Amino acid sequence: MNRTELYLKRSVVAKRDGEEIINRIRKNVQWMEHSKVLDVGCGPGNVTHDLLLPMLPDSTEIFGIDKSFEVIQYANERYGKKSKMTFRQMDIALDTSALAEYNEYFDYIFSFYCFHFILDARSALKNIYKLLKPGGEFLFTFIVSGNYQELHDRISNTQRWGTYISKYNETFLFLPENQRKDFEDVIGNVGFEVIDIYVEPKEYSFPLAVVPEFAFSHFPYQIPENLKDEFALSIMDTIKEMEFHCIEEGKEYFCCKYEMLFAHIKKPM
Ligand SMILES: C[S@@+](CC[C@H](N)C(=O)[O-])C[C@H]1O[C@@H](n2cnc3c(N)ncnc32)[C@H](O)[C@@H]1O
């Protein structure tokens, strides 16, 4: 099974939370006909296709971008041919000149569970601002804190694994409560108006044995192939040591507790 297939198998949290957010968005936004929509960090395109597409009028033109070539290839093969969706490889935090013809093109930009992978949020927000039409809206979610980050940091601080994974906040965007105001300031400094922004606590119980697959499919860990089994045991042992596990109906789970930020922001007219 390749990494994209593994991601699809293990992306239950992204699907569950994406569906919940889209149901909320659906009630609050009036979609215009012939809109241009972009999904940033679309992954293999399943959320774009299964959740975004049905919410939007048939006349909508939908694009998806992701920095991973592998997922874009999958999305184009799986969905690109039979729907009006186009997928392109692009890192939203880097140069978006390849999308220069799309400056001020999009009415709505979405991004689900991608921003926690972007350390330079300011640069990504600036690029999104450029791509939006005046009056265009950006709606996004990402995980701002949680016990997975603590688990990651505990493992990255060990001698055994520290050479393969770096500390969470050196690679990913991590926003503990005292840094959220700064993030809102960045949004404002880029030029956006805030329509809505909030953080809410969430939980998901992963069967303990699937946590290693979740980790390998979601995080860019550079663990050598021959050490993956040992790494998997280490993650499961560390979850227990840190008392992040729980037993439900006789089965062991990782009780993943996290906070999700949702923001709905607008480029002024
Ligand atoms: C957890 S997946 C979410 C995928 C999809 N949005 C969903 O909800 O299932 C995060 C995706 O963001 C992509 N990503 C991370 N950093 C990115 C960046 N700087 N630019 C574009 N995509 C990025 C990753 O490659 C990955 O496919």
Domain residue spans in the chain? Answer: 3-266
pLDDT tens-digit profile of 220-240?
Answer: 888 999 999 999 999 999 999
Pocket test for ligand 1, best of 9, 48, 114 (most atoms within 8 A of CB): 114
Mean pLDDT across the chain: 92
Does 96 score more than 80 pLDDT? no
What is the pTM assigned to this prediction? 0.94
pLDDT tens-digit profile of 243-263?
Answer: 999 998 889 999 999 999 999
* DSSP code per residue over 171-239: HS----GGGHHHHHHHHHHHTPEEEEEEEEEEEEEEEGGGHHHHHHHHS-----GGGHHHHHHHHHHHH
CA of 13 to the centre of ligand 1 (A): 14
pLDDT tens-digit profile of 112-160?
Answer: 999 999 999 999 999 999 999 999 999 999 999 999 999 999 999 999 9
CATH entry 3.40.50.150 includes domain 3-266:
yes
CB 145 within 8 A of CB 258: yes
In this prediction, what percent of the chain has a pLDDT beyond 70? 100
C-alpha closest to that of 92 among 133, 123, 129: 123
Residue 121 Cβ inside 6 Å of ligand 1? The answer reads: no
Residue 266 Cβ inside 6 Å of ligand 1? The answer reads: no
